[in-house]
């Protein structure tokens, strides 16, 4: 793959690489992969998500479901609206908080659909660590507010507020939370970290992993020599914090991943770590630090257990296709497009294909949700009564 960098891009990645190498040297020549990933993605002013690069859409490094079609956000409204109406009936503010809102396309499609249905949201909060994405979100939402005459307040927060009553959303957020790599050698699990060999980053095996940090699937399974996988302590800690801070309402997230039995399958020999640059998937996680995205698939079983450590009502997991179909995305598509007009309906049909097909995003991407004190705003309703969440629960 031939990637031609500008002089600024070359200087950027070389500067960040040198900073990471200096820290590796200061730690005795070995760095946990989670720290490498943290620096590569989030080092202030230098990391992939904090340095101002164009990341999303046709000219970026990857495309998300909200970028593909506004139908994605419109379908999500089917799940959210009963809760928002319940909050309003209780005299509570109607509010949504989104983690990592990208270009603002998901917020735009949700607010537009709510407006079309005659519901005005009080507040849309965003937690965004990327300065350039935050600016794009603000520009997007200001334009939308003027176009639709919305009175919704927009706030950019630095932290999740305590005792939040409302809805918390996260689309493709968990996959970018730093994780640790481990390797199976001689009957034991070892940390896989980062070293520097001949001036380049390289994998280096560290100390044995404490048994208390290993999931049961890795302790009880049979794995081949050199089997590599990931542990997700920071993502699980993040999930516990979200569950703790949500007082009343719903948490809803979309991301690619597997339940534990699939995630730690003996045939998944090389784990799920992947780098992305300019819509190319790259196997080498040390390629162009600061210019490449780094992700891993989500291990949903532990995410669910982490949420349940707080007294949530229930947890739910299904695939994206089942969720969107149950949320009525097909009917919404017929509302906005005429199937008898191929010129206007073909783009809608193509977007639906990508969102729903098992060969595209329909199966690999999952929806995970939990509710807290849902009865306070929707008496007599459970999580699995909400549109989108009425299918088979995979947990």
Residue among 252, 261, 244 at smallest CA distance from 301: 261
Nearest to 50 by CA among 298, 297, 291, 295: 291
Which helix (DSSP H) or strand (DSSP E) does residue 191 occupy? strand 188-197
Per-residue pLDDT, 4: 79
Given this model, what pLDDT does residue 56 score?
45
Positions of the chain with pLDDT lower than 70, given as ranges: 1-3, 52-62, 279
129: number of Cβ within 10 Å: 16
Average pLDDT, the chain: 94
Is residue 110 packed enough to be buried (19+ CB in 10 Å), middle (13-18) or exposed (0-12)?
Answer: buried
C-alpha 311/C-alpha 59 separation (Å) is 43
pLDDT at 281: 86
Q: Which uninterrupted H or E stretch holds 319?
A: strand 314-319
Q: How far apart are CA 171 and CA 106, in angstroms?
A: 9
- The structural domains of the chain, ordered by start, are 65-177+233-268+297-385 (3.40.50.12710)
Q: Which residues pair with 56 in a beta bridge?
A: 62
Provide, rounded to the nearest whole percent, the portion of the chain with pLDDT above 90.
Answer: 87
pLDDT tens figures, 216-228: 999 998 999 999 9
DSSP type of residue 161 = P
- Beta strand 188-197 pairing with 31-32: antiparallel
Choose among 71, 69, 72, 49: nearest CA to 61.
49
Cα distance between residue 238 and residue 243, in whole Å: 9
Alpha-carbon distance of 347 to 353, in angstroms, equals 10
State the distance between the two ends of the chain, measured CA to CA, in whole angstroms: 40
């Amino acid at each position: 793959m031939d990637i031609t960098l500008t002089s600024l891009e070359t200087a950027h990645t070389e500067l960040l690489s040198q900073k990471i190498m200096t820290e590796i040297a200061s730690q005795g020549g070995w760095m946990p992969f989670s720290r490498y990933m943290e620096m590569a993605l989030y080092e202030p002013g230098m990391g992939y998500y904090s340095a101002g690069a164009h990341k999303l859409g046709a000219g970026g490094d990857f495309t998300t479901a909200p970028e593909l079609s506004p139908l994605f956000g419109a379908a999500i409204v089917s799940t959210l609206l009963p809760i928002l109406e319940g909050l309003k009936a209780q005299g509570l503010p109607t509010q949504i908080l989104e983690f990592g809102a990208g270009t603002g396309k998901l917020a735009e499609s949700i607010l537009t659909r709510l407006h079309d249905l005659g519901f005005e949201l009080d507040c849309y909060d965003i937690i965004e660590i990327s300065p350039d994405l935050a600016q794009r979100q603000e520009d997007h939402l200001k334009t939308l507010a003027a176009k639709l005459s919305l009175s919704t307040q927009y706030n950019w927060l630095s932290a999740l507020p305590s005792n939040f009553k409302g809805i918390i959303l996260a689309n493709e957020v968990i996959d970018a939370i730093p994780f640790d790599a481990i390797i199976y050698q001689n009957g034991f699990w070892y940390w896989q970290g980062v070293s520097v060999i001949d001036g380049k980053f390289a994998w280096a095996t560290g100390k044995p992993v404490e048994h208390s940090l290993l999931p049961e699937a890795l302790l009880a399974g049979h794995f081949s020599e050199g089997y590599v996988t990931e542990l997700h302590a920071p993502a699980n800690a993040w999930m516990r914090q979200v569950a703790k801070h949500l007082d009343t309402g719903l948490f809803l997230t979309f991301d690619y991943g597997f339940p534990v039995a699939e995630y730690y399958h003996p045939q998944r020999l090389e784990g799920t770590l992947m780098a992305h640059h300019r819509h190319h998937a790259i196997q080498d996680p040390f390629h162009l630090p600061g210019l490449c995205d780094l992700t891993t698939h989500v291990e949903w079983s532990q995410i669910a257990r982490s949420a349940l450590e707080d007294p949530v009502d229930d947890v739910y997991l299904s695939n994206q296709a089942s969720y969107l179909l149950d949320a009525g995305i097909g009917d919404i598509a017929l509302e906005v497009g005429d199937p008898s007009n191929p010129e206007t309906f073909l783009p809608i049909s193509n977007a639906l294909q990508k969102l729903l097909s098992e060969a595209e995003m329909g199966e690999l991407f999952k929806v995970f949700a939990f509710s807290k004190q849902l009865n306070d705003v929707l008496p007599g309703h459970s999580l699995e009564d909400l549109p989108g969440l009425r299918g088979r629960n995979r947990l």
